[in-house]
Copies of this chain bind each other. A is one copy, B any other.
Amino acid sequence: MSEPSAFGLTPIGHIASPFKQKFAIPRQPALANARGCVRLTPPFNDANCLRGIETYSHLWLLFIFHENLDQGWSPTVRAPRLGGNSRIGVFASRSTFRPNGIGMSVVKNLGVEQLNGQWQLNVGGIDLLDGTPVIHIKPYLPYSDSVADAEAHLLDEHPLPAREVHFTEQATAQLNAQPHTDLQALIIQCLSQDPRPAYRQSQDNDPKTYQVIFYDRDIQWRVENGKVLVTSLQPVS
Protein backbone atom coordinates (compact mmCIF):
# COMPACT_ATOMS: atom_id res chain seq x y z
CA MET A 1 0.00 0.00 0.00
CA SER A 2 1.45 3.32 -1.00
CA GLU A 3 -0.35 6.47 -0.01
CA PRO A 4 0.40 10.08 0.71
CA SER A 5 0.34 11.14 4.34
CA ALA A 6 -2.18 13.87 3.59
CA PHE A 7 -4.92 14.50 1.04
CA GLY A 8 -6.09 17.81 -0.36
CA LEU A 9 -9.68 19.03 -0.44
CA THR A 10 -11.24 21.65 -2.67
CA PRO A 11 -14.55 23.32 -1.82
CA ILE A 12 -17.22 22.59 -4.44
CA GLY A 13 -19.37 25.47 -3.22
CA HIS A 14 -20.34 27.61 -0.25
CA ILE A 15 -23.38 27.86 1.98
CA ALA A 16 -25.56 30.96 2.05
CA SER A 17 -27.47 30.84 5.33
CA PRO A 18 -29.24 33.13 7.82
CA PHE A 19 -26.74 32.05 10.51
CA LYS A 20 -23.95 34.61 10.70
CA GLN A 21 -22.22 33.24 13.78
CA LYS A 22 -22.13 29.92 15.64
CA PHE A 23 -24.06 31.06 18.71
CA ALA A 24 -27.72 29.95 18.70
CA ILE A 25 -27.44 27.59 15.73
CA PRO A 26 -29.60 24.66 16.83
CA ARG A 27 -27.82 21.43 17.69
CA GLN A 28 -30.80 19.57 16.28
CA PRO A 29 -31.32 21.11 12.85
CA ALA A 30 -34.57 19.17 12.37
CA LEU A 31 -36.12 21.34 15.10
CA ALA A 32 -35.63 24.49 13.03
CA ASN A 33 -36.58 25.02 9.42
CA ALA A 34 -33.79 27.37 8.44
CA ARG A 35 -33.38 27.60 4.69
CA GLY A 36 -30.30 28.33 2.70
CA CYS A 37 -28.50 27.21 -0.41
CA VAL A 38 -25.26 25.77 -1.72
CA ARG A 39 -23.77 28.03 -4.38
CA LEU A 40 -21.53 25.94 -6.62
CA THR A 41 -18.01 27.17 -7.31
CA PRO A 42 -16.43 26.80 -10.79
CA PRO A 43 -15.75 24.24 -12.26
CA PHE A 44 -18.62 22.65 -10.30
CA ASN A 45 -21.04 25.45 -11.26
CA ASP A 46 -22.60 23.16 -13.87
CA ALA A 47 -26.19 21.91 -14.02
CA ASN A 48 -24.91 18.49 -15.14
CA CYS A 49 -23.36 17.93 -11.71
CA LEU A 50 -26.84 18.03 -10.18
CA ARG A 51 -28.73 16.05 -12.85
CA GLY A 52 -31.25 13.72 -11.23
CA ILE A 53 -30.89 15.19 -7.74
CA GLU A 54 -34.61 16.08 -7.74
CA THR A 55 -35.40 12.40 -7.13
CA TYR A 56 -34.12 12.58 -3.56
CA SER A 57 -36.01 14.20 -0.70
CA HIS A 58 -32.91 14.60 1.49
CA LEU A 59 -29.22 15.10 0.90
CA TRP A 60 -26.00 14.89 2.86
CA LEU A 61 -23.76 17.92 2.89
CA LEU A 62 -20.17 17.41 3.95
CA PHE A 63 -18.49 20.64 4.88
CA ILE A 64 -15.51 22.21 6.60
CA PHE A 65 -15.75 23.74 10.08
CA HIS A 66 -13.77 26.60 8.60
CA GLU A 67 -13.86 28.84 11.67
CA ASN A 68 -12.32 26.16 13.87
CA LEU A 69 -9.48 24.90 11.74
CA ASP A 70 -6.77 26.91 13.46
CA GLN A 71 -7.66 25.64 16.89
CA GLY A 72 -6.36 22.11 16.57
CA TRP A 73 -7.71 19.10 18.38
CA SER A 74 -7.33 17.25 21.65
CA PRO A 75 -8.03 13.58 22.44
CA THR A 76 -11.01 14.46 24.64
CA VAL A 77 -13.68 17.17 24.48
CA ARG A 78 -16.16 18.59 26.96
CA ALA A 79 -19.66 17.15 26.61
CA PRO A 80 -22.09 20.03 27.26
CA ARG A 81 -25.08 17.73 27.46
CA LEU A 82 -23.38 15.79 30.28
CA GLY A 83 -23.04 18.91 32.42
CA GLY A 84 -20.02 20.52 30.84
CA ASN A 85 -17.33 19.01 33.01
CA SER A 86 -17.39 15.46 31.75
CA ARG A 87 -14.98 14.74 28.95
CA ILE A 88 -15.49 12.21 26.20
CA GLY A 89 -13.23 11.05 23.39
CA VAL A 90 -13.15 13.24 20.32
CA PHE A 91 -14.23 10.25 18.19
CA ALA A 92 -17.18 9.64 20.54
CA SER A 93 -18.36 13.20 19.98
CA ARG A 94 -19.75 15.39 17.25
CA SER A 95 -17.49 18.21 18.43
CA THR A 96 -16.46 20.68 15.76
CA PHE A 97 -12.91 20.74 17.16
CA ARG A 98 -11.41 17.55 15.78
CA PRO A 99 -8.75 16.10 13.56
CA ASN A 100 -9.81 16.92 9.99
CA GLY A 101 -12.54 19.49 10.65
CA ILE A 102 -15.25 17.85 8.57
CA GLY A 103 -18.92 18.10 9.43
CA MET A 104 -21.90 16.31 7.94
CA SER A 105 -25.56 17.34 7.92
CA VAL A 106 -28.73 15.91 6.45
CA VAL A 107 -30.77 18.62 4.74
CA LYS A 108 -34.05 18.74 2.87
CA ASN A 109 -33.74 19.06 -0.89
CA LEU A 110 -35.67 22.17 -1.97
CA GLY A 111 -34.55 22.10 -5.60
CA VAL A 112 -32.02 23.51 -8.03
CA GLU A 113 -32.17 26.95 -9.57
CA GLN A 114 -30.01 29.26 -11.60
CA LEU A 115 -29.64 32.93 -10.69
CA ASN A 116 -27.46 35.19 -12.83
CA GLY A 117 -25.45 32.27 -14.18
CA GLN A 118 -24.94 30.84 -10.70
CA TRP A 119 -26.31 27.34 -10.06
CA GLN A 120 -27.55 26.85 -6.55
CA LEU A 121 -29.11 24.00 -4.61
CA ASN A 122 -31.76 25.18 -2.16
CA VAL A 123 -31.84 23.28 1.12
CA GLY A 124 -33.90 23.31 4.30
CA GLY A 125 -33.38 22.33 7.93
CA ILE A 126 -29.80 23.58 7.95
CA ASP A 127 -27.51 24.22 10.89
CA LEU A 128 -24.69 25.71 8.85
CA LEU A 129 -22.87 28.96 9.20
CA ASP A 130 -23.05 31.43 6.30
CA GLY A 131 -19.98 31.00 4.09
CA THR A 132 -19.26 27.40 5.09
CA PRO A 133 -17.18 25.61 2.42
CA VAL A 134 -18.99 22.52 1.12
CA ILE A 135 -16.85 19.61 -0.04
CA HIS A 136 -19.48 17.03 -0.88
CA ILE A 137 -23.14 16.56 -1.78
CA LYS A 138 -24.58 13.04 -1.70
CA PRO A 139 -28.09 11.60 -1.83
CA TYR A 140 -29.53 10.40 1.46
CA LEU A 141 -30.33 6.73 0.87
CA PRO A 142 -32.78 5.33 3.43
CA TYR A 143 -31.61 1.74 2.92
CA SER A 144 -28.06 2.52 3.96
CA ASP A 145 -28.27 5.74 6.00
CA SER A 146 -31.35 5.23 8.15
CA VAL A 147 -30.55 2.72 10.89
CA ALA A 148 -33.79 1.73 12.58
CA ASP A 149 -32.21 0.12 15.63
CA ALA A 150 -29.37 2.57 16.30
CA GLU A 151 -28.91 3.60 19.92
CA ALA A 152 -27.09 6.62 21.31
CA HIS A 153 -27.21 6.63 25.08
CA LEU A 154 -24.78 9.40 25.79
CA LEU A 155 -26.41 12.32 24.00
CA ASP A 156 -30.01 11.28 23.77
CA GLU A 157 -30.76 10.89 27.44
CA HIS A 158 -31.43 14.52 28.24
CA PRO A 159 -33.37 16.30 25.52
CA LEU A 160 -33.45 19.99 26.30
CA PRO A 161 -36.88 21.34 27.24
CA ALA A 162 -38.18 24.00 24.87
CA ARG A 163 -38.71 27.48 26.36
CA GLU A 164 -41.54 29.76 25.32
CA VAL A 165 -40.38 32.72 23.24
CA HIS A 166 -42.08 36.13 23.56
CA PHE A 167 -41.45 39.46 21.87
CA THR A 168 -41.68 42.92 23.46
CA GLU A 169 -43.86 45.51 21.72
CA GLN A 170 -40.75 47.16 20.33
CA ALA A 171 -39.39 43.86 19.01
CA THR A 172 -42.75 43.03 17.43
CA ALA A 173 -42.82 46.36 15.61
CA GLN A 174 -39.26 45.84 14.39
CA LEU A 175 -40.13 42.33 13.27
CA ASN A 176 -43.07 43.58 11.22
CA ALA A 177 -40.90 46.24 9.55
CA GLN A 178 -38.21 43.90 8.24
CA PRO A 179 -38.21 41.85 5.01
CA HIS A 180 -37.38 38.24 6.05
CA THR A 181 -40.65 36.32 6.09
CA ASP A 182 -39.21 33.41 8.05
CA LEU A 183 -37.28 35.41 10.64
CA GLN A 184 -39.89 35.20 13.39
CA ALA A 185 -40.16 31.42 13.03
CA LEU A 186 -36.37 31.12 12.97
CA ILE A 187 -36.02 33.16 16.18
CA ILE A 188 -38.66 31.09 17.95
CA GLN A 189 -37.19 27.79 16.81
CA CYS A 190 -33.61 28.65 17.70
CA LEU A 191 -34.14 30.53 20.96
CA SER A 192 -36.71 28.07 22.36
CA GLN A 193 -33.78 25.64 22.56
CA ASP A 194 -32.00 28.02 24.95
CA PRO A 195 -28.59 28.54 23.36
CA ARG A 196 -27.06 29.93 26.58
CA PRO A 197 -23.96 28.14 27.92
CA ALA A 198 -24.77 24.89 29.73
CA TYR A 199 -24.10 26.34 33.21
CA ARG A 200 -26.66 29.11 32.60
CA GLN A 201 -29.41 26.92 31.21
CA SER A 202 -30.84 26.10 34.62
CA GLN A 203 -31.32 29.81 35.38
CA ASP A 204 -34.93 30.89 34.85
CA ASN A 205 -34.10 34.52 35.60
CA ASP A 206 -30.86 35.71 34.06
CA PRO A 207 -29.94 39.42 34.09
CA LYS A 208 -27.66 39.12 31.08
CA THR A 209 -28.83 40.32 27.66
CA TYR A 210 -27.74 37.99 24.85
CA GLN A 211 -27.26 38.85 21.22
CA VAL A 212 -27.50 36.83 18.02
CA ILE A 213 -27.43 37.71 14.32
CA PHE A 214 -29.83 36.05 11.88
CA TYR A 215 -29.71 37.33 8.31
CA ASP A 216 -28.82 41.02 8.69
CA ARG A 217 -30.61 41.56 12.02
CA ASP A 218 -29.00 41.93 15.40
CA ILE A 219 -31.38 40.30 17.89
CA GLN A 220 -31.29 41.02 21.65
CA TRP A 221 -32.94 38.73 24.16
CA ARG A 222 -32.91 37.57 27.75
CA VAL A 223 -34.43 34.87 29.94
CA GLU A 224 -37.10 36.06 32.40
CA ASN A 225 -39.53 33.94 34.45
CA GLY A 226 -38.42 30.86 32.53
CA LYS A 227 -39.27 32.37 29.15
CA VAL A 228 -37.15 33.85 26.40
CA LEU A 229 -38.01 37.52 25.85
CA VAL A 230 -36.86 39.13 22.60
CA THR A 231 -36.37 42.83 23.30
CA SER A 232 -34.97 44.27 20.07
CA LEU A 233 -34.13 43.55 16.42
CA GLN A 234 -31.85 46.10 14.81
CA PRO A 235 -30.28 46.02 11.37
CA VAL A 236 -26.62 45.02 11.69
CA SER A 237 -24.60 48.18 11.40
Q: Across the interface, do B7 and A69 meet the contact criterion of CB distance under 8 Å?
A: yes
State whether the Cβ of A219 lies closer than 8 Å to any Cβ in chain B. no
Known A99-B12, A100-B9, A102-B135; contact A88-B52, beta-carbon cutoff 8 A: yes
CA gap between A69 and B9 in the complex, in Å: 11
Partner-contacting stretch, out of A151-159, A164-172, A197-205, A206-214: A151-159
State whether the Cβ of A236 lies closer than 8 Å to any Cβ in chain B. no
Find A142's partner among B6, B62, B92, B151 (CB 8 Å cutoff): B151
State whether the Cβ of A225 lies closer than 8 Å to any Cβ in chain B. no
Question: Which A residues from 26 to 85 make CB contacts under 8 A with B?
Answer: 28-30, 44, 46-53, 55-58, 60, 62, 64, 66, 69, 75-76, 79
CA gap between A136 and B93 in the complex, in Å: 11
Question: Which A residues from 1 to 39 make CB contacts under 8 A with B?
Answer: 1, 3, 5-12, 28-30
Known A51-B87, A154-B56; contact A142-B133, beta-carbon cutoff 8 A: no
Chain B residues in 8 Å Cβ range of A6: 8-10
Q: Across the interface, do A51 and B76 meet the contact criterion of CB distance under 8 Å?
A: yes
Q: Across the interface, do B150 and A30 meet the contact criterion of CB distance under 8 Å?
A: no
Q: Across the interface, do B48 and A75 meet the contact criterion of CB distance under 8 Å?
A: yes
Contact with B along A115-150 (1 / 0, CB 8 A): 000000100000000010101111111111111111
Known A46-B75, A66-B3; contact A142-B137, beta-carbon cutoff 8 A: no
Question: A residues touching B (Cβ–Cβ < 8 Å)?
Answer: 1, 3, 5-12, 28-30, 44, 46-53, 55-58, 60, 62, 64, 66, 69, 75-76, 79, 87-94, 98-102, 104-106, 121, 131, 133, 135-156
Query: 14 interchain pairs (CB within 8 A)?
Result: A6-B10, A12-B91, A46-B75, A48-B89, A50-B91, A52-B154, A53-B89, A55-B152, A56-B150, A62-B104, A98-B136, A141-B156, A142-B151, A146-B146
